[in-house]
């Protein structure tokens, strides 16, 4: 599951998923109950752009420039350009900036292959207008666009494309002007109120190093985007190109068309392929992976936005909460560390142990928190009439945990999957563990109370599902094994009885012919689940 910044989610397929199944799921289009259906890309683009234009922060001098420590970007004269051409094995960048330093002005140019530091040139000028003129000439030469008209930027074949990035805002201290000089005002930062375990968790899920690690795992170029992260608009443009690629595949277009569109995608969303030729996006499994990648980017953007907004809110205050308290409060989600000696902890620990013994991973619990998301309880109460409640597993990428705690587990229409567009859960930890993406072997899983109601049982793939069939409240893709139902126990959560498996998985003879090895539980209404527990895990055990 990957939570999307505007309140959607997409389910990441595990690496070992059959290619045929992934292709089958990836090609489905989502529909909404409107006269003119919108596909998922349109929904995603609208959600991204609904937030309005990006608020640009202070621009940062390129780290590779010798003036990075002493200079500053003049006004907004800086840009990141990118160009990918698969046919010519091009995957290159170009950085242009106007820098003011020591009462002089400079234009800084750096260029090369994505993933390398490249070549550079620093030109010196006495007047700012001369440096600006040089900057604008270089921008025109490289893009065929006028800098003054960049808001209407047009990409040309054989030229570079402008990559929209957010500036980096230094919000650590408040700066006042006294007698014409800048004076740093020292803020009084309060002590952190979080316990040690929660403090470490918040540090992890908001860690820039962790976000960078997640991006590198997806071959995204982070070294060649030193000026900031991709903007919402840039992510939306990536969706648009994937939309074009899917349409071309559906038309069975020639390979040259897909090569050109793939070049366009990698130009808009820079990837680091080293000296290898960028691949052509030519099947639905690759498209699905790129969708997932953009969704992770969007959630990383949300986490960073939460952090920035909280910092800006404190700019005019001289006594401020500890930064980790600020990050925690931005989630609007209560996290209560669970006593490892409590009965609930022991139940959860056994649930994990017995349902992970036969899996690839042997996770070990580091800590467990009770989760109370603002307004989620009220939304969940809409399903008070539904019985058949179970505590079920949900694995995710650690890079999106902050977004999930903020926005909840949500449905992204194009998530697809073997059982359609819904929120996926499992009764076996080993199944959900396949969706966990770690940082230094630390992963996160959720246990949610799911109001299943009346189950519709299936034993074959049905990726077209968008809701439970008439007369049913959920869909269960029954596996050939299931935790021994005779060992289930019941816990009481806010007056409701919730089943928790405690037995090892056993064969289910009545489902011997099922296409599913492990059962998957699907709901198609977000209100039918409530996150109850967050588990921090050592995935190596």
Would you name the residues annotated as active-site residues? 520
Contact 261, 243 (CB under 8 A): no
3-state secondary structure at position 101: strand
**DSSP single-letter state for residue 438:** -
DSSP states of 470-527 as a string? TT-SEEEE-EEEEE-GGG-EEEEETTEEEEE--S-EEE-GGGTT-SEEE-EEEESSGG
Cα-to-chain-centroid distance, residue 226: 19
3-state secondary structure at position 534: strand
Contact 171, 311 (CB under 8 A): yes
**DSSP single-letter state for residue 465:** -
Contact 177, 284 (CB under 8 A): no
Distance CA 373, CA 300 (A): 19
Q: How far are the Cα atoms of 196, 197, 229, 271, 323 from residue 330, in angstroms, in the given order?
A: 19, 18, 20, 31, 11
Distance CA 184, CA 194 (A): 28
* 183 beta partners: 176
Strands 505-507 and 104-113: unpaired
Distance CA 411, CA 135 (A): 45
* 507 beta partners: 481
- Cβ atoms within 10 A of the Cβ of 377, count? 11
H/E run at residue 94: strand 90-101
DSSP states of 194-248 as a string? S-HHHHHHHHHHT-HHHHHHHHHHTTB--TT-TT-PBPHHHHHHHHHHHHHHHHH
Distance CA 83, CA 159 (A): 7
Query: CB neighbours of 34 closer than 8 A, spacing ≥ 6?
Result: none
Contact 61, 68 (CB under 8 A): yes
Contact 8, 43 (CB under 8 A): yes
Distance CA 73, CA 57 (A): 12
Q: How far are the Cα atoms of 284, 392, 456, 464 from residue 421, in angstroms, in the given order?
A: 16, 18, 15, 8
Strand (E) positions, 307-453? Answer: 319-320, 333-337, 364-373, 389-395, 423-426, 442-451
């Amino acid at each position: 599951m990957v939570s999307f910044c505007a309140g959607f989610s997409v389910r990441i397929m595990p690496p070992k998923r059959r290619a045929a199944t992934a292709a089958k799921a990836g090609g489905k289009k989502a529909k909404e109950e409107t006269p003119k259906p919108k596909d998922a890309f349109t929904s995603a683009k609208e959600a991204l752009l609904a937030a309005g234009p990006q608020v640009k922060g202070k621009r940062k001098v390129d780290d590779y420039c010798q003036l990075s420590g002493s200079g500053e970007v003049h006004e907004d004269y800086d840009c990141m350009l990118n160009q990918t051409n698969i046919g010519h094995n091009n995957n290159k960048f170009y950085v242009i900036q106007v820098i003011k330093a020591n009462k002089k002005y400079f234009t800084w140019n750096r260029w090369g292959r994505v993933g390398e530091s490249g070549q550079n040139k620093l030109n010196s000028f006495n007047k700012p207008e001369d440096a600006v003129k040089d900057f604008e000439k270089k921008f025109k030469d490289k893009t065929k666009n006028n800098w003054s008209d960049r808001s209407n930027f047009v990409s040309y074949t054989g030229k570079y494309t402008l990559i929209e990035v957010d500036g980096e805002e230094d919000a650590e201290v408040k700066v006042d002007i006294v007698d014409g000089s800048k004076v740093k005002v020292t803020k009084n930062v309060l002590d952190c109120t979080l316990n040690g375990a929660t403090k470490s968790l918040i540090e992890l899920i908001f860690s820039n190093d962790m976000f960078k690690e997640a991006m590198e795992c997806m071959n995204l170029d982070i070294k060649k985007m030193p000026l900031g992260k991709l903007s919402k608009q840039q992510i939306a443009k990536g969706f648009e190109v994937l939309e074009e690629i899917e349409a071309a595949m559906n038309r069975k277009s020639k390979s040259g068309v897909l090569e050109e569109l793939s070049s366009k995608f990698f130009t808009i969303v820079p990837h680091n392929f080293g000296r290898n030729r960028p691949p052509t996006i030519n099947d639905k499994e690759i498209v699905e992976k790129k969708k997932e990648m953009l969704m992770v980017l969007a959630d990383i953007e949300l986490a960073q936005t939460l952090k920035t907004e909280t910092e800006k809110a404190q700019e005019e205050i001289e006594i401020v909460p500890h930064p980790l308290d600020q990050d925690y409060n931005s989630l609007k989600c209560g996290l209560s560390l669970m006593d490892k000696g409590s009965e609930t902890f022991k139940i959860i620990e056994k649930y994990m142990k017995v349902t992970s013994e036969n899996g690839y991973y042997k996770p070990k619990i580091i800590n467990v928190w009770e989760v109370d998301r603002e307004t989620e309880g009220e939304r969940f109460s809409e399903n008070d009439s539904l019985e058949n409640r179970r505590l079920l597993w949900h694995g995710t990428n650690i890079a999106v945990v902050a977004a999930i705690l903020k926005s909840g587990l949500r449905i992204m229409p194009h998530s697809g999957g073997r059982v359609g567009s819904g929120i996926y859960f499992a009764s076996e930890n080993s199944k959900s563990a396949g969706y966990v993406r770690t940082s230094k072997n630390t992963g996160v899983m959720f246990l949610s109370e799911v109001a299943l109601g009346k189950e519709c049982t299936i034993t074959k793939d049905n990726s077209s599902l968008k809701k439970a069939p008439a007369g049913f409240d959920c869909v269960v893709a029954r596996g050939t094994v299931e935790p021994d139902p005779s060992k289930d126990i019941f816990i009481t959560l806010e007056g409701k009885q919730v089943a928790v498996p405690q037995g090892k998985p056993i064969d289910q003879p009545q489902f011997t012919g099922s296409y599913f090895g492990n059962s998957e539980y699907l709901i198609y209404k977000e209100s039918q689940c409530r996150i109850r527990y967050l588990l921090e895990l050592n995935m190596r055990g």
